[in-house]
Amino acid sequence: MKIEIEKKDLMGLISKTQNIVEKRNTMPILVNVLLEAEGNFLKVFATDLEVSLTDSAKCKVLQAGKVAVSAKSLFDISKELSEGLIQFVKKENNWLEIKQGKYTSKIVGISAEEYPVFPTYTGQGFLKIPAETLKDMIDKTIYSVSNDETRYHLNGVYFEQKGDAGYSMVATDGHRLCMVSKKLPAEQLLSSGQGVIIPRKGLSEIKKLLESLGGDFEIAIEGSQLIVRHQTTTLMIRLIEGKYPNYSQFIPSKLKQKIRINRDAFLTSLKRVSLLANQKSKAVTLSLTNGRMEISSTNPELGDAKEEIEVGYEGSDMKIGFNAKYIQDVLTAIQDDEVDFEINDQLSPGLMRPHNDPNYTCVVMPMRI
C-alpha cells in the first residue's frame, strides 16, 4: 500500500474514529483502525463491536493495499503535520511509514486479516430525515438514559413508529422519563407499535455526526442493526436486545395542579439554589402559593438557600421536593420561553412540557421532604 492524501481529507476521516475505537482494551485489536487503499479512495473502518464506522476520502493510490494501525497514534501524528500532502507506505511486518517533507515516522501495524469482519447491510428501506430533527430528538432524550448496567434494556433510547408518519423516542432511568414525537416522511422503518433500543454510545456518535455534517441523513433498521448514512459516512449500531417497559403507564394523566413558568427564570433560580443542596440527592423544595413559587434547599454541612419567582398558579398552597438536576436537564432540553409543570400532590410524579409543544413530555419522580 502506498498513497498520498491531503491532510485536511485525512483528518476528516480519522477524527470520526477516535471515540469509536475501544479504549478499555478488552480486545487490544479494537484500538486500531483499518485503512484500505483502492481505486482513488482511502477507506477507513473503526469498530468496538457495538458501534462501527466506515468512511472514505479521495487520495492518490500509488499501490493498493490495506493495514490496521493504532487510531490514536495515526491521529496524533497527522494532527501535528503541516497542511498539504501526506504519504503513507506499508512496510514489512505491517509497519506504516508516514512521510511529509523531511519528516518520517513508522508506526506498528497489524495484518488487515486480523481485524474483525465488518458488518454489512443491503441498503434497502432507508428513511430520509433532516439532521436538525434527528439531533433534536436525541437531545431531548439521551440525558434520561439509565447508567445502571444491571438494567441493560434501559441503557438506550427506545425508538418506535407511531402510525404512518410519526416516530417517537423514549428514555427512562426509573427516576425520570422523556418522550419526544416527530412527524417524519411516510416511509416505514418499523411495524406500527414496534420499537428498537438504540444504545447510548451509538446515539452519542450519531449526534457528533449530525453536528459536524448537517443536511439530510438516511436511517434504516436491518435485523439487529441501525444504519445511519450521510454521503460517504456510514455508522452501524448494534441494537440492544430486550423488551422495553410499557412506558405509557408511567406518564400520569388528569393532573389537578398546573403551573406556567418562565423557563429561563426557573432554570437560573434552580442553578443558584441547588448550589447549597445535598451534593448527592440535589434535593430542592418547591413551595407554591397563588402566583408565586419559592425554591429552597438546605444542607446542614453547607447552609441553605431560597429564591422566589413569579409563576402562573392559582391552586392551593403546596410543597413538593425534586432532584434539581433532573428538572434542570429538562429545562435545558426545552427551547420554549415558557414551561407547563403539572402536579397532583407531593407523592405523585410531576409532568413537564414546553408550553407550545405537546409533542415533548417529561415525567420526574418527586423526593420526600
pLDDT score for 122: 84
> Could you identify the residue written with the cell 400532590?
345
**Cα(164)–Cα(174) distance, rounded to whole angstroms?**
30
Spans of the chain, pLDDT less than 70: 25, 164-165, 185-187, 191-193
What pLDDT is recorded for position 191? 66
Instruction: Give the pLDDT confidence score for residue 126 in this predicted structure.
Output: 87
Predicted TM-score (pTM) above 0.85 = yes
Question: To which H or E segment does residue 206 belong?
Answer: helix 200-213
Domains and CATH numbers, the chain: 2-114 (3.10.150.10), 127-249 (3.10.150.10), 251-364 (3.10.150.10)
**Which residues on neighbouring strands pair with residue 160, listed in sequence order?**
168, 195
**pLDDT for 165:** 58
Query: Per-residue pLDDT tens for 24-77?
Result: 767 889 999 999 999 999 999 999 999 999 999 999 999 999 999 999 999 999
- Whole-Å CA distances, 344 to 118, 256, 341, 348: 52, 5, 10, 6
User: Looking at residue 27, what is its pLDDT?
Assistant: 85
Q: What is the pLDDT of residue 123?
A: 76
Q: Residue 192: its pLDDT value, please?
A: 61
Bin 49: left if φ > 0, else alpha if -120 < ψ < 50, else beta: left
Tell me, what's the pLDDT at 31? 94
Residue whose cell numbers read 405523585: 348
pLDDT digit string, tens, across residues 304-334: 999 999 999 999 999 999 999 999 999 999 9
Q: What is the pLDDT of residue 164?
A: 63
How many whole angstroms from its chain centre is CA 121? 23
The predicted structure's pLDDT at residue 369? 77
